[in-house]
Amino acid sequence: MDKESPRSVSFRTHRRGERSNLNQQSKGKQSLPSSHCEFMKNVNKMFGGAGGADVEEGFPLGRVPQDYPMKIVWKKGFIRLVLVGGILWMLLILLASLFHVWSCQSSISFFSAMCNKESKVFSMLGSLGFVPKGQNQHRCPIPVVGDPDKIKIPKGGTPDEIVKNLTYVLEDEILPKGTQSSPLFGGHQNWAQREESFRLKSDMKVHCGFIRNGGAEMAPADIKYAKKCRFVVASGIFDGYDVPHQPSDLSPRSKKLFCFLMAVDETSLNFIKENVTVREDNDGGKWVGIWRLVLLKHPPYDEPRRNGKVPKILTHRLYPNAQYSIWIDGKMELMVDPLQILERYLWRGKHTFAISQHKHHHSIYEEADANKRRKRYARPLIDLHMKIYRYEGLESWDPTKKTVSDVPEGAIIIREHTAMSNLFSCLWFNEVHLFTPRDQLSFGYVVYRLGGLFKFFMFPNCEYNSLFVLHPHIREHSSRIEWVTSWNQLKGKGTISNRGKDWDQANAKNGLIESRGGLGLWTPYPANLDSVVLPPVARTSKAG
């Protein structure tokens, strides 16, 4: 008892002092504004819970929880932690977004491969101004002359300075007995003839398709009509995968000046007749709107994609009297007047050949890798194609090269049909005939072999996208050879899985091997390619 007395007295004294202080605070509080009282109540409720009233009026004896100060400290600390965590999280997101923008502009392949310019995040950052201008442009304004009627058409044509006289092989070579003797549209060009075709001379004779009895014959009425065409907008539909789309914003001058010629095969002609109105004139010509349908009888190749390269690359052979041509793919609707296109891409810069650069790829090897992964052609044949180019000295594209890119976006090609421009088209087509129908894989190689003597204008991809409206195919065409992954499948010793279906090639006769195209991949190459290693590829986009 004696030991407890001092403690009790001390405790009571302490509580008296505490009550006195609280009473003074209560008295002083009566003079505070009501808004301040309400504010204190809210604070007390926040930190004291149900005991907030006790804090305001003074704690009765024995009512103060012993852990009350710890609760206040804990709650204040928790709020600070949430705030700090939120700020750090926002900074992390900001840093990640800025890194994403930086990676899209980086020249380091490892970082550029991480960039996805098609993502919503990248688009949002672009709209907020974080992406530098020019990095997120799908379409951009084309600096064309406003009024097509004011465009001055050059008199004459660009003079031929290197190749002055170009002629073509018209008869197929006589082959030894026991070998394929039927004429090929592209001819049986051998390796020595191919090599000679790249040696530029004043007078040249080269393979350039249209070997007699090789296919792709035009009707007499279409030949007669095409002879009068000096300015041509050309297109083509094969395998019945599309219908013609009418050009927009044509000037009256261009309607009179240009012939709009759409090359088709029998399958596509029947498909077009079933889906749109086809008008026939008094001479037997077939029309869909402004387009005249030009039927190519007897398709020259087994593969529809390869057939489509005939009017695309050999426009000057199909329409030999044309001085200027604009090729557009069949799925495209032209949005710019053809005269404005010729003035912008040819006449203004005194060019004879113009084509857009590819949206994603600069190197042929990068484009080949994308073709394999997207099943655009047999993978072992693409590899063999690239090994031949690698052996013949073609390096991967890099910024030190004189060309903007080795890979074009070939859906639009703008040409003046000079001897040099026509020669380039012939050599480009010969590569498509010899190897794979993926013409983008051959363009940069032919430029390389001509040693910079072929001058052309490769314009920005954003302008390419402003020239047309791209319509989806009504249906996709494909052949089994596009799904081949191994040599065993090509030789009929394996199955090919195509969207869940297995095709057994064990009893198929030439079911996968094209009989009239790509023969350079089956003709022994005059060098050993076993030691050739393809350069590594950095994938810089979803498409690549």
What is the end-to-end Cα distance of the chain in Å, rounded? 91
User: Distance (Å, rounded) from C-alpha 357 to C-alpha 517?
Assistant: 27
Lowest mean pLDDT among 117-131, 203-217, 245-259, 333-347: 117-131
State which amino acid sits at residue 151. Answer: I
Strand partners, 203: 165
- Mean pLDDT, rounded, for 307-319: 97
Q: What separation in angstroms does the CA of 260 have from each of 140, 148, 152, 467?
A: 26, 17, 21, 16
* pLDDT of the residue at 86: 87
User: Distance (Å, rounded) from C-alpha 385 to C-alpha 438?
Assistant: 10
Q: Considering the entire predicted model, what is its pTM?
A: 0.74
- For 294, phi then psi, to 5°, come to -110, 110
Give CA 162 to chain center in angstroms. Answer: 34
Strand partners, 325: 232, 415
- For 91, phi then psi, to 5°, come to -65, -40
Q: Give the residue extent of every domain in the chain.
A: 77-128, 148-174+181-477
* pLDDT of the residue at 319: 97
Rounded (10°) CA dihedral 218, 222, 228, 232: -80
Top-confidence residue, 318 or 474: 318
User: Distance (Å, rounded) from C-alpha 391 to C-alpha 409?
Assistant: 25
H/E element holding 518?
none
Q: What is the 3-state secondary structure (H, E, C) of 138-158?
A: CCCCCCCCCCHHHCCCCCCCC
Please list the alpha-helical segments (H only) found in 106-245. Answer: 109-112, 120-127, 191-197, 220-226
User: Distance (Å, rounded) from C-alpha 466 to C-alpha 477?
Assistant: 26
* pLDDT of the residue at 508: 47
**Tokens for 413?**
């090609």
Strand partners, 357: 408
DSSP 3: T
Q: Indicate whether 228 pLDDT > 70.
A: yes
Top-confidence residue, 68 or 470: 470
- Mean pLDDT, rounded, for 144-158: 93
User: Distance (Å, rounded) from C-alpha 214 to C-alpha 310?
Assistant: 12
Top-confidence residue, 313 or 32: 313
Give CA 271 to chain center in angstroms. Answer: 28
Please name the residues in contact with 323: beta carbons below 8 A apart, sequence gap of 6 or more.
157, 230, 231, 416, 417
User: Distance (Å, rounded) from C-alpha 463 to C-alpha 151?
Assistant: 20
Radius of gyration of the chain (CA): 37
Lowest mean pLDDT among 84-98, 198-212, 263-277: 84-98
Q: Indicate whether 186 pLDDT > 80.
A: yes
Q: Indicate whether 185 pLDDT > 80.
A: yes
User: Distance (Å, rounded) from C-alpha 452 to C-alpha 115?
Assistant: 33
Q: Indicate whether 326 pLDDT > 70.
A: yes
pLDDT band for 82, please (50, 70, 90 cuts).
Answer: confident
- Mean pLDDT, rounded, for 187-207: 96
* pLDDT of the residue at 304: 87
* pLDDT of the residue at 294: 97
Strand partners, 206: 168
Q: Indicate whether 501 pLDDT > 70.
A: no
**Tokens for 115?**
């960039």
- Long-range contacts of residues 76-81, Cβ cutoff 8 Å, at least 24 apart: 76/47
Of the chain, the percentage scoring pLDDT greater than 90 comes to: 56
* pLDDT of the residue at 471: 83
Strand partners, 259: 232
Please name the residues in contact with 192: beta carbons below 8 A apart, sequence gap of 6 or more.
none
User: Distance (Å, rounded) from C-alpha 200 to C-alpha 472?
Assistant: 41
DSSP 58: -
Residue (of 70, 22, 29, 19) closest to 48 by Cα position:
70
Lowest mean pLDDT among 168-177, 192-201, 493-502: 493-502
* pLDDT of the residue at 128: 61
H/E element holding 442?
helix 440-449
**Tokens for 499?**
């969207």
**Tokens for 472?**
């989806």
Please name the residues in contact with 437: beta carbons below 8 A apart, sequence gap of 6 or more.
301, 303, 305, 306, 309, 377, 517, 518
Q: Indicate whether 541 pLDDT > 80.
A: no
* pLDDT of the residue at 136: 45
Q: Indicate whether 16 pLDDT > 50.
A: no
Q: Average pLDDT over the chain, rounded to whole?
A: 82
User: Distance (Å, rounded) from C-alpha 225 to C-alpha 259?
Assistant: 9
Q: Give pLDDT tens digits for 412-438.
A: 999 999 999 999 999 999 999 999 999
Please name the residues in contact with 518: beta carbons below 8 A apart, sequence gap of 6 or more.
306, 381, 433, 434, 435, 436, 437
pLDDT band for 223, please (50, 70, 90 cuts).
Answer: very high
Sign of CA dihedral 244, 246, 250, 253: positive
Three-state DSSP class for 88?
A: helix
User: Distance (Å, rounded) from C-alpha 314 to C-alpha 426?
Assistant: 7
* pLDDT of the residue at 58: 46
Strand partners, 370: none
User: Distance (Å, rounded) from C-alpha 2 to C-alpha 298?
Assistant: 124
pLDDT band for 4, please (50, 70, 90 cuts).
Answer: very low
* pLDDT of the residue at 126: 60
Q: Give pLDDT tens digits for 241-294.
A: 889 999 998 999 999 999 999 999 999 999 999 999 999 999 999 999 999 999
H helix and E strand count, the chain: 20, 16
- Mean pLDDT, rounded, for 78-99: 84
pLDDT band for 131, please (50, 70, 90 cuts).
Answer: low
Q: What separation in angstroms does the CA of 219 have from each of 230, 235, 297, 301?
A: 19, 17, 8, 19
- Asked if residues 259 and 292 have their Cβ atoms less than 8 Å apart, the reply is yes
